[in-house]
Amino acid sequence: MAMDDRKQRILMAIVSLYATDGEPVGSNLLSRYFDMAVSSATLRNEMAALTKLGLLEQPHTSAGRVPTAKGYRYYVDNLLGGHLSLNRPSRDKIDALFQGLDYDPEKLAQSAAKALSGLLSYAVLVTTPLAQNPSIAHFEVLQVGRYTAAVLAVTAAGSVRTRVAKLDFELGREDASRYADTLNRYLRFVAEPDVNSGLIRTMVDSLGSAGPRAWPVLSAALTLLSEVGRPSIYFEGHQYLLQWPELEPGLRTLLELVGSRERIEALLQVGDTRTMVLFGDELPDKPIPGLCLVSRPYHAGGGLSGTIAVAGPARMPYREIIPELEYFSELLGRSMSGERGPGL
Amino acid sequence: MAMDDRKQRILMAIVSLYATDGEPVGSNLLSRYFDMAVSSATLRNEMAALTKLGLLEQPHTSAGRVPTAKGYRYYVDNLLGGHLSLNRPSRDKIDALFQGLDYDPEKLAQSAAKALSGLLSYAVLVTTPLAQNPSIAHFEVLQVGRYTAAVLAVTAAGSVRTRVAKLDFELGREDASRYADTLNRYLRFVAEPDVNSGLIRTMVDSLGSAGPRAWPVLSAALTLLSEVGRPSIYFEGHQYLLQWPELEPGLRTLLELVGSRERIEALLQVGDTRTMVLFGDELPDKPIPGLCLVSRPYHAGGGLSGTIAVAGPARMPYREIIPELEYFSELLGRSMSGERGPGL
DNA sequence: ATTAGCACTCGAACAGCTTGAGTGCTAAAA
DNA sequence: TTTTAGCACTCAAGCTGTTCGAGTGCTAAT
C-alpha cells in the first residue's frame, strides 16, 4: 500500500483544512473540498489507509482525522515543494521591519526576533552569528576601576565581547598592556578545545611573579574564549505560544527547554543550509506533542552564520511561514554583514 | 467598623490557609483553625464585615472567602511584621547558590535569576545594577575589522559595554584614537539628558572634514550613553508561572509585559530601599488579577543598585519568600561588589 | 456580644438523554 | 477492480435534572 497520487492530495487537503480550522477533518468536509471528484465513502477508504500508514490519527472514534507528526513529516518533505513564493504585502512588511535597525549583531538579533515574532504572531528564536571555527583575533585589557579590569575580545569575525575581572591589587597601565600581550601571544586564534592545562601553566609562568595575581584576567579571557563558541540566543513572543490549545500540555516542558541554553543549542545545531522543520514529537529526550520548529540558517558574510526559527503548532501555514522566514533570514544576514536592505 | 484585633487575626488566618490550600476558606475550617476560641457563626459575622470592607471576596455565593488584592495589601502592610526570620536550611541553600558564580555583573545577574528561580520554584526577575546618575567615564575606539570599529564605554560604575559600528572606509589606528579623544572630550561624565543637537554638532565639527564619515562611531557612542541608563533585565523561570491556575487568565498579558522592556522598567522603578510588594490588580494600565511581585533593591557598592523580584500568585508564602529574597539580595549585592560570600 | 439553629444558595458531580458528525462495512453499481 | 450508496454503530458535546454538601445570612435565644 503505497502513497499514490490521490493519497498525497488527500493528505495535503487534510493538512490544509486542519491548519485553517484547527478541527479534525471528516470525510464530508473533505469531499466538499475535493468538489465532488470522488465521494465521501471513497475518501473514507483512503483515510483509513492513511491512518494505517501512520500519517493520520483520530482524536476519538467518531471524530475526523488529524495529521500525525509523521504525516506532517511526509507533508513537508514530499509535498510542500521546493520553491514557495512570497506575496507582495508580506515582502513589503518584512522590508519595513528592517528600516532603522541597529547594526550591532547582538541588538540586531534581539530586535529581529521581536520584530518577526510580532509580524507573524508566532514565537521566534534567533541566535547571533558564529564562525565555523570561532577563535579570538585580538585581546585588550583595560583598567576600569581601582581593582577591576575589563578583558575585551575581538573575534575573528569582528564581534566584540567583554568581561570584567576583579583583582586583588590596583592595576596599572603597564600591567594591563602586559596582560594583553600575554593573552595575545598565547590565545590568539586558538580554538577552545586546544586550550589545556599545559598552555595555561605556560601563560601563568610567562608572567613571572605577577602570574598568580593576574589569574582573574586569564580566567576572564578563557571564559570569553569558551563563550565565543556559543551564540547568544534570543527567544521572543512567548505569549503567542499560549494561543494554541494543542500546545498546552507540553507548555511547561517547552518553557523549560527554552530556559536551557544547552538544549536549545543542541536543537538548532542541525546546521544545514536549508530550511528545516522539526516536530516536537520527534525530540530526543522529552517530546513536546504538537510543537513545530521551522528553522533556517542565515549568513552574515565572512563565514558567519546564525539560526532563526519560528516556533508554533504543527498546523502552521507553512506555505506562508517558510517563504517569510526565508526572506527574513536573507535580509537579516545582509543587515548583519552591514549591507543596507533594498529599501535604503 | 474598624479593623479590631480579632478581624486582623481572622484575615491572617484566611491568608495563611488560602496560601497553603489554594481553596476558598469557609467559616468551619476557620473555626477549627482558631481551635474553638469562637464559633463559626461569629466568624461568619466577622467575615461578612471583612467582605464589606473589601478585604475578602467570595468566588460564588456558597463558597468560602478569599482575600482580595486590597486584603493582601492590608496583610503585607500591617500584619506581616517587619522582621521575618530566615530558617537555617534556606540560608544554607542560598549560600550554596553563590559558590562559584562569576564576577561579571551581566552574567551574575542572569545566573542569579536562574538560580533563585530554581530554588524557589517561582519566576524571578533581576536587573543589572545602575548608578543614580549614570554616565560614561571613558571611551575607547578599536578597529575590529576592515570596516568596523568597536566603541567601548566604561561607566562611572566600572561596567563595560561595547557596540560595533560599521564604517564606509577603512579605519586606521590614528583615526580610532582621534575618535576616542573626541568622545572622551565631549561625552565623558555627561548625563544622557544633557546631550543636545548643539553638543553633537560641536563634536562633528571638531573632527573637521572627517566628521561626517565618523558618524557611525558617534552614533554608537550616543547609543551606548543612552543604554548605560537602562539596566539589562533578566527574567527566568517562565515555566513556574504555569502552575498557578489563578494566573491563567492574565498569563498572556503577563508575558507581553515581560517582553516589553519599558513597562517592566516602569514597574521596578519604584526604587525604594525596602522590600516592596506589588499586586497585579494594582497595575496602572492592564491589571493582571492574582499576580504578585515581591521586589527589592540590592546594592552592589559604589552607589550601584539593581532590583530583584519574585513573581507569583498573590497567595505566596510571604513569610518565607521575603526573608529569602532579602538574604539573596544581600548576597547578590556583595557578590557584585566583588566581595566573597560567607562560604568562601 | 455570642452562638445555635435553620432556611437558603449554588457549584460540583453524576446520570440520563438527545443530537450529530463521523466512522467502518457491505453490497450494489460502474 | 474500483467506486459509491446505504446503514448500523460509536462517541463527544450539550442539555436537563437530581443529589450532595459546603457555606452563607439571618434570627432568636443565651
Tell me the per-residue pLDDT of A164-202, one tens digit each, with 9 for 90 and over.
Answer: 888 989 988 899 999 999 999 999 999 988 999 999 999
Distance, CA of B247 to C1' of C12, in Å: 22
Mapped onto helix, strand or coil, the DSSP state of residue B233 is strand
C-alpha cell read off for A175 = 600591567
Mean pLDDT, rounded, of chain A? 91
Chain B positions with Cβ closer than 8 Å to A: 102-105, 107, 114, 138, 140, 142, 144-145, 147-148, 150, 152, 154, 158-166, 216, 220, 223, 236-239, 242-243, 251-252, 255-256, 258-259, 338
Distance CA A280, CA A78 (A): 19
Q: Which nucleotides of C are covered by protein (CB under 7 A)?
A: 2-5, 8-11, 20-26
* Nearest partner of A151 among A107, A243, A214, judged by Cα: A214
Q: Which nucleotide is nearest to A41 (CA to C1')?
A: D4
Give the per-residue pLDDT at A270. Answer: 62
Give residue B36's region: left, alpha or beta (phi > 0; psi -120 to 50).
left
Give the per-residue pLDDT at A146. Answer: 83
Model confidence pLDDT, tens digit, residues A229-279: 889 999 999 999 999 999 999 999 999 999 999 999 988 876 667 899 999
Mapped onto helix, strand or coil, the DSSP state of residue A310 is strand
Model confidence pLDDT, tens digit, residues A107-119: 899 999 999 999 9
Give the per-residue pLDDT at B339. Answer: 60
CB B46 within 8 Å of CB B59: no
Answer yes or no: do A239 and B220 touch at CB < 8 A.
no
* pLDDT grade for A1, boundaries at 50, 70 and 90: low
CB A113 within 8 Å of CB A299: no
Low-confidence ranges of chain B (pLDDT < 70): 1, 36, 270-272, 338-344
Give the per-residue pLDDT at B252. Answer: 96
C-alpha cell read off for B335 = 557578590
Give the per-residue pLDDT at A339. Answer: 60
Residue A342 has pLDDT above 60, yes or no: no
Among B145, B152, B251, whose Cβ lies nearest the Cβ of A152?
Answer: B152
Q: Which residue has the higher pLDDT, A145 or A190?
A: A190
Give the per-residue pLDDT at A211. Answer: 83
Model confidence pLDDT, tens digit, residues A282-334: 998 899 999 999 999 999 988 889 999 999 999 999 999 999 999 999 999 99
Model confidence pLDDT, tens digit, residues A192-202: 889 999 999 99
What Cα–Cα distance (Å) separates residue A88 from each residue in A91, A99, A115, A320, B276?
5, 17, 18, 12, 51
Give the per-residue pLDDT at B271. Answer: 62
C-alpha cell read off for A21 = 480550522
CB A285 within 8 Å of CB A257: no
Residue A344 has pLDDT above 60, yes or no: no
* Nearest partner of A236 among A121, A95, A103, judged by Cα: A121
Q: What is the DSSP letter of A300?
A: -
Answer yes or no: do B338 and A238 touch at CB < 8 A.
no
C-alpha cell read off for A218 = 586569564
Residue A141 has pLDDT above 60, yes or no: yes
End-to-end CA distance of chain A: 55
Beta-carbon neighbour count of residue A218 at 10 Å?
A: 22
Answer yes or no: do A255 and B236 touch at CB < 8 A.
no
Give the per-residue pLDDT at B340. Answer: 46
Distance CA B162, CA B282 (A): 38
Summary count for chain A: helices (H), strands (E): 12, 10
Give the per-residue pLDDT at A341. Answer: 39
Instruction: Residue A129: list chain B partners with CB under 8 A.
Output: none
Distance, CA of B14 to C1' of D21, in Å: 21
